[in-house]
Amino acid sequence: IWLLTGDKKETAINIGFACSLLRQDMRQFHLSSVMDSGCSNQSEVILVAKKALVSQIKSFSQEINEEHNKHMPFALVVDGQALEIGLRSDVKDQFLQLAVECASVICCRVSPKQKALITRLVKEFTGKTTLAIGDGANDVGMIQEADIGVGISGLEGMQAVMASDFSLPQFRFLERLLMVHGHWCYNRISKMILYFIYKNIVFGLTLFFYEFYTSFSGQVLYDDWYMTAFNVLLTSLPVISLGVLEQDVPSDVCHQFPALYKQGQRGICFSWKRIIGWILNGAVASLIIFLSTIHALSTVAFLGKGKVADIAHLGTITYTCVIWTVNCQIALIISHFTWIQHLFIWGSILLWYIFLLAYGALPPSYSHTGFQVLTEAIGGAPSFWIITLLVVVASLLPYFIYMVLQRTFYPLDDHVIQEMKHCKKDIFDKPMWLREQQNSKRTTQVGFSARVDVKIHHLKEAIQQRRESIYNPTQRCPSPVAFWSLLSLLGKLVQTQGTAHELDHPPT
Which residues sit in the known binding site for ATP?
Answer: 5-7, 109, 115, 138-139
Q: Which amino acid is at 47?
A: L
Helix H or strand E segment including 150: strand 148-152
Which amino acid is present at 417? I
In whole angstroms, give the CA distance from residue 48 to residue 59: 17
- End-to-end CA, the chain: 28
Name beta bridge partners: 167. Answer: 151
Q: Are strands 27-31 and 2-4 parallel, antiparallel or unpaired?
A: unpaired
Q: Report which secondary-structure segment, H or E, holds 152.
A: strand 148-152
Phi, psi of 129, deg, nearest 5 = -75, 130
Residues belonging to the binding site for Mg(2+) are 135, 139
Residues at the binding site are 5-7, 109, 115, 135, 138-139
Whether 201 and 284 have beta carbons less than 8 Å apart is answered as no
Task: Name the residue among 254, 146, 151, 242 with its Cα closest to residue 195.
Answer: 242
3-state secondary structure 205-255: HHHHHHHHHCCCCCCCCCCHHHHHHHHHHHCHHHHHHHHHHCCCCCHHHHH
Q: 401-430: buried (b, 16+ CB within 10 Å) or exposed (e) per residue?
A: eeeeeeeeeeeebbbebbebeeeebbeeee
Look up residue 479 and give its DSSP letter.
P
DSSP H/E element including 435: helix 430-439
